[in-house]
Amino acid sequence: MSPVLVASVVVGIAYGKGGWYAVNVMLRRGANVWGDVAMDDPRLSQGIRLSLAGQRTPDPAEPVRWRQVATGMEVAELPIRVGGRSVDALLLSRIDPARYRFRVLNRPAGDRDVGDWMAATGASLVVNGSYYGRHGTPDTPVISDGRRLGPGSYQAKHGAFVVGGSGGQGGARLVDLAGLDWRQAIGGTSEAMVSYPMLLGADGHGRAAGTDERWLANRSFLGQDGAGRIIVGTTRDAYFSLPSLAAFLPRAGLDLRLALNLDGGPVACQKVSAGAYRRDFCGRYELAVHSGRLQLLWPLVDFRRSGLPMALVVVPRR
| Whether residue 8 is found in the same domain as residue 52 | no
In order along its 318 residues, the chain shows pLDDT tens digits of: 554 343 344 345 445 554 556 555 655 555 678 999 999 999 999 999 999 999 999 999 999 999 999 999 999 999 999 999 999 999 999 999 999 999 999 999 999 999 999 999 999 999 999 999 989 999 999 999 999 999 999 999 999 999 997 544 458 999 999 999 999 999 999 999 999 999 999 999 999 999 999 999 999 999 999 999 999 999 999 999 999 999 999 999 999 999 999 999 999 999 999 999 999 999 999 999 999 999 999 887 665 688 999 999 999 998
Structure confidence at residue 32 (pLDDT): 78
Greatest Cα pair distance in the chain: 65
CB atoms within 10 A of CB 43: 12
Degrees (nearest 5) of the Cα angle 117, 122, 123?
70
What pLDDT was estimated at residue 242? Answer: 98
Among 189, 151, 158, 153, smallest CA distance to 172 is for: 189
Decide if 232 contacts 74 (C-beta within 8 A).
no
Same domain, 204 and 291: yes
Q: Check residue 199 and give its pLDDT.
A: 98
Same domain, 20 and 43: no
Residues 60 and 10 in one domain: no
- 263 and 302 part of one domain: yes
Which distant-in-sequence residues (6+ apart) come within 8 Å of 299 by Cβ? 30, 31, 32, 266
What's the domain count of the chain? 2
Q: What is the pTM of this model?
A: 0.90
21 lies in the same domain as 66: no
Report pLDDT for 19. 58
| Enclosing domain of residue 23 | 1-30
Task: State whether 236 and 216 are in the same domain.
Answer: yes
25 and 68 together in one domain = no
| Per-residue model confidence (pLDDT) at position 27 | 56
